[in-house]
Amino acid sequence: MFLDPKFVNADILSRADQTERVIRVAGAQALDYFNNRDQLVVETKMEPQDVVSIADRNVEVTIIEGLQAHFSEDGFLGEEQGITKGNNNFLWVIDPIDGTACFLNGMHSWCLSVALMVDNKIAFGFVFDPNTNELFSAIAGQGCFVNGQKVTALKVNSVKEGVMGVGTSQRVSSSFCITFLEQLLDQGGMFIRNGSGALMLAYVAAGRLIGYYEPHINSWDCLAGLIMVNEAGGWTNHFLEGEGLLKGNPLLVSSTNLKDQLKVMTSL
Q: Tell me what pLDDT residue 50 has.
A: 61
- Cα 246 off chain centre by: 15
The answer to whether 238 and 228 are in contact (CB under 8 A) is no
Q: Provide the residue-wise pLDDT of the chain in tens; the chain has 268 residues.
A: 999 999 999 999 999 999 999 999 999 999 999 999 998 877 766 555 566 788 999 999 999 999 999 999 999 999 888 999 999 999 999 999 999 999 999 999 999 999 999 999 999 999 999 999 999 999 999 999 999 999 999 999 999 999 999 998 888 888 888 999 999 999 999 999 999 999 999 999 999 999 999 999 999 999 999 999 999 999 999 999 999 999 999 999 999 999 999 999 998 8
Q: Tell me what pLDDT residue 52 has.
A: 77
Q: Tell me what pLDDT residue 74 has.
A: 98
Q: Tell me what pLDDT residue 41 has.
A: 75
Backbone dihedral angles phi then psi of residue 214, each to the nearest 5 degrees: -145, 130
Question: May I ask the CATH class of domain 159-266?
Answer: alpha beta
Question: May I ask the CATH class of domain 5-150?
Answer: alpha beta
Asked if domains 5-150 and 159-266 share a fold, the reply is no
- Report domain extents, the chain: 5-150, 159-266
Q: Tell me what pLDDT residue 252 has.
A: 98
Query: Which pTM was predicted?
Result: 0.95
Q: Tell me what pLDDT residue 225 has.
A: 98
